[in-house]
Structure 1
Amino acid sequence: MAVWAIGLMTGTVLDGNVDIAMVRTDGETIHEFGPSALSPYPGEVRPLLAEALEAAARWGFSGEEPAIFAEAEQALTRAQGEAVLAFLESHGIAPREVAVVGFHGQTVLHRARTAERKGATRQLGDGHAMARQLGIDVAFDFRSADVLAGGQGAPLAPIYHRALLKRIGAGPETAILNLGGVANITLVDAQDGMHAFDTGPANAPLNDWVRSHTGEEMDRDGRTAARGRADEARLARLLEHPYLSAPYPKSLDRNDFTAAMAQGLSLEDGAATLTAFTAGAVARALDILPARPERLVVCGGGRRNPTLMAELARRCGVEVVDADALGLRGDAVEAECFALLAVRALAAMPISFPGTTGVPAPATGGRIARA
């Protein structure tokens, strides 16, 4: 039975907002899109999360967790809960009308499994505290079970991407590309099987590069990169990184590819090179899919960067389409995804698969905090 669910997402790009989206779904099909919103964090939360990310990088899953994790978790849980309550009030929705909230939390560190080591992942977010705050059941901690079962813990979006592709009537000729802090791609084959992985960085290195040089939060409208010229010799070397040609399943942490790739270049040329690298990494990803798609439907914040979109079309040799042009909501896809995953978690339906995270068999995931 289809129910209304709310999804929450805040990415590693740390833009200072939480994405909120409501969908009516049975966990397989999107029956109806509800409202969506971008809700800014209170001023003190974002610096706290940035500090937690820095502490996580130093920690590296070794020894005691940084003390700041508990403080940041409490602050972001409270802030996201308040954002949901304001969202419900603004749209005249009673909490009892919502079956579940999918609370992704904030990823502070992610380490992919390799042949030599186990994977590990850490998201900050107290689902029990949020359930008490909202009076609504909350699904949270979506990645840990997959990692424990031998999966990568990411990407989790493919099952939702499959629902989106069905909604727009697309087949194996079309893949969905999400451009958040990290980029991930999903292709659904003719047998309904999902092939998905992180392609490389998306917005995170470029944002960090621009912020460190100008104090601006991003390369707005791709204007900085448009004024520069990509260092093609450096780009060719960067594109030889072994991750890019490695078979999937595979996943990335935000810190696996950083703004240091542009070190020594001017602001504009560095931005152009980082933008071109994101597109070039996607081109490499298309080459290792079982069949090369002819069209990329792009969602996430990176689709708002026309320089990046042009680079994708040029370097990938495919049609590049903004998800919004097909009646989807490019800014809300990740939040919508966690609404659908929450419904699947409530029903004990699988949320990760061998062709997505590399888990040995389709696996359930997410913990449920009852209101």
Structure 2
Amino acid sequence: MDNSITSLGLMSGTSLDGIDASIINSDGKSHLEVKANDFYQYKSEFRQKLRDYIKNINSLEDIENSISEYKNLEKEITLLHSDISKKIISKQTIEVDLVGFHGQTIIHKPKKKYSIQMGNPNLLSQLIQKKVIFNFRKNDMENNGEGAPLTPVYHSLLSKKIFPNEPSIFLNIGGVSNFTYCNNEELVARDIGPGNVLLDEYLKKTKNIDFDKNGEIASTGQINMDIINQFIEHDIYSSKDRHSYDRNEFDFNFIKGLIFEDAVATLNYFTALIISNYFNENFINCTNIILCGGGRKNKTLIQNLKNLLKKNICDIDKFNYDGDFIESQAFAYLAIRSYFKKNISFPSTTKVSKPISGGETFKNY
């Protein structure tokens, strides 16, 4: 197809589980072919090292004061991105033209006008001998945007293919939950609140396990509605003006004192209630919700959402798109749009002052 190029998207999300990689062919508009998806799982030691570092970063000054550790982690994470890039590219018979490199978010403070994604695009470009598009959030934040979410323009493309004549909501449940509402050319997106982060952090701290597989632990506990009713009105969960969240903003300490299974069940329901309250208040007439992100595999969480929302909630995998790789595909698509100077963020998605492009190109070979 004319003006179509092949792009590799790389995404390491707030769940800190590893690196998603996707290769697509697109013109940055309506044409899309997904060529390949792959995943590199972080070794537990590296994941813990990354988790511990992020937990201690609450400002730019904290990064400056730990710059040696930051640089070591940055090199290590870039090398891991290089490894999976080489692996997935080697299996293709077509040339990969661009790489969309998101990096690992270390701290995201839109109100203070900064967002730090760890990664070295010059080193990655040198190692894989490709043009690398990086710093996707920078131009947005320099134009009064919050720098996130950036995936809505890709969700819009998918929406037109899945529900071409109906409005739909993409619900991405990663560490943080966010949504995109698509209705013809109308595009609205926001972070909603916690996705997996409260559950994952609690499980890691109390039992040293990474997540509740399929929601099995939550399914065995009793939900404590007294605690939920007490904390659901907290500003961070009930504010009408949702902002782009940093994972460190969320704290699970309100369930202290509950037995383990009840705590997990309560956090699970609490997460579902935050999401459903937002949709019931703001999108009562939109019946189609498309699930993506790792949280869609938590059966208890999804059942709670179905009970609370009474909408047509379906997994994106049902439409032959792998829900584990929507964000990495999105950054491949954003790289193409950035390369062609097309807009990637909008006032209705990131609160940026005007529709703008983003992403900087690095070539080091």
TM-score range, shorter chain: over 0.9
Q: Would the alpha carbon gap of residues 319 and 74 (structure 1) be closer, same or farther in structure 2, given more than 3 Å must change?
A: same
Which one of 4, 7, 14 corresponds to residue 6 of structure 2? 4
Q: Does 1:311 align with 2:318?
A: no
Q: Does 1:21 align with 2:22?
A: yes
Q: Name the stretch that deviates more: 72-81 or 261-270.
A: 261-270
Q: Does 1:178 align with 2:176?
A: no
Matches within 5 A, 1:185-200: 185-190=179-184, 192-200=185-193
Measure, in 1, the Cα distance between the counterparts of 2:186 and 2:337: 18
Measure, in 1, the Cα distance between the counterparts of 2:362 and 2:285: 41
Q: Does 1:348 align with 2:341?
A: yes
TM-score by length of 2: 0.93
Instruction: Give the gaps of 5 or more residues in structure 2.
Output: none
The answer on whether the counterparts of 1:244 and 1:284 sit within 8 Å (CA) in structure 2 is no
Q: Does 1:209 align with 2:207?
A: no
Measure, in 1, the Cα distance between the counterparts of 2:62 and 2:80: 29
Matches within 5 A, 1:272-351: 272-289=265-282, 292-351=285-344
TM-score by length of 1: 0.92
Measure, in 2, the Cα distance between the counterparts of 1:126 and 1:63: 16
Q: Following TM superposition, by how much is the alpha carbon of 1:152 offset from its aligned partner in structure 2, in angstroms?
A: 0.8
Q: Would the alpha carbon gap of residues 43 and 232 (structure 1) be closer, same or farther in structure 2, given more than 3 Å must change?
A: closer
Q: Name the stretch that deviates more: 48-57 or 342-351.
A: 48-57
Q: Following TM superposition, by how much is the alpha carbon of 1:42 offset from its aligned partner in structure 2, in angstroms?
A: 5.1
Task: Give the count of matched residue pairs.
Answer: 361
Measure, in 2, the Cα distance between the counterparts of 1:309 and 1:76: 32
Percent of residue pairs bearing the same amino acid type: 31
SS of aligned partner of 2:217: helix
Counterpart residue number, 1:255: 248
Which one of 98, 104, 108 corresponds to residue 106 of structure 1? 104
Instruction: Give the gaps of 5 or more residues in structure 1.
Output: none
- The CA RMSD over aligned residues, in Å, is 1.9
The residue identity in structure 1 corresponding to 2:191 is D
Which one of 356, 361, 368 corresponds to residue 354 of structure 2? 361
Measure, in 2, the Cα distance between the counterparts of 1:31 and 1:299: 18
The residue identity in structure 2 corresponding to 1:177 is L
Measure, in 1, the Cα distance between the counterparts of 2:166 and 2:256: 39
The residue identity in structure 1 corresponding to 2:246 is D
Q: Would the alpha carbon gap of residues 182 and 53 (structure 1) be closer, same or farther in structure 2, given more than 3 Å must change?
A: same
Q: Following TM superposition, by how much is the alpha carbon of 1:202 offset from its aligned partner in structure 2, in angstroms?
A: 0.7
Counterpart residue number, 1:52: 53
SS of aligned partner of 1:210: helix
The answer on whether the counterparts of 1:52 and 1:72 sit within 8 Å (CA) in structure 2 is no
The answer on whether the counterparts of 2:100 and 2:134 sit within 8 Å (CA) in structure 1 is yes
Q: Following TM superposition, by how much is the alpha carbon of 1:172 offset from its aligned partner in structure 2, in angstroms?
A: 4.8
Q: Would the alpha carbon gap of residues 65 and 247 (structure 1) be closer, same or farther in structure 2, given more than 3 Å must change?
A: farther
Deviations 1:38-57 (A, max 9, x none): 11235653233223202313
The answer on whether the counterparts of 1:280 and 1:316 sit within 8 Å (CA) in structure 2 is no
Q: Following TM superposition, by how much is the alpha carbon of 1:364 offset from its aligned partner in structure 2, in angstroms?
A: 1.4
The answer on whether the counterparts of 2:280 and 2:309 sit within 8 Å (CA) in structure 1 is no
Q: Name the stretch that deviates more: 318-327 or 350-359.
A: 318-327
Deviating runs (4+, > 6 A) in structure 1? none
Matches within 5 A, 1:213-232: 213-232=206-225
The answer on whether the counterparts of 1:230 and 1:272 sit within 8 Å (CA) in structure 2 is yes
Deviations 1:189-225 (A, max 9, x none): 34x1211101110111101111222222110110110
The answer on whether the counterparts of 1:223 and 1:307 sit within 8 Å (CA) in structure 2 is yes
The answer on whether the counterparts of 1:100 and 1:136 sit within 8 Å (CA) in structure 2 is yes
The residue identity in structure 2 corresponding to 1:107 is T
